[in-house]
Amino acid sequence: MRELEIPLTSRDDRDRIERSIDAAIAGAGLAVTLRASLKKFPGCVHWHVRRGREPGTLEITYWPQEHRAWFTIQDGRRAEWIDEQATILADAIGRRIRET
């Protein structure tokens, strides 16, 4: 398993961050297959993202309580598209947060 941080600034609020993540996912043409919370991180928002019918799942977690967001790449859910899309999404999320 690998984790990649999504940089956030101290002024970013919860709604802005969630909207920015949702918009970045849609803008990249990816599909959300799960949006839920994780017991391990109470109050978090957790997404499973896929690219069409291709193998692989990119996970995104935003934990407002800790003001932290990150990608998780599980060993059993790896795919060629994931690293490139994680970079694209991180840039898009940051851009969208600053714009809203």
Number of separate domains in the chain: 1
Question: What are the contacts of 41-49 at 24+ separation with CB within 8 A?
Answer: 41/65, 41/66, 45/18, 45/21, 47/21, 49/25, 49/85
The answer to whether 37 and 44 have CB atoms below 8 angstroms apart is yes
The domain that holds 84 is classified in CATH as 3.30.310.240
Residues of the chain falling short of pLDDT 50: none
Give the tokens for residue 82.
């994931």
**C-alpha angle 25/61/83, rounded to 5°?**
60
Span 44-73, pLDDT tens digits = 999 999 999 999 999 999 999 999 999 999
| pTM for this entry | 0.93
- What is the domain range of residue 94? 2-99
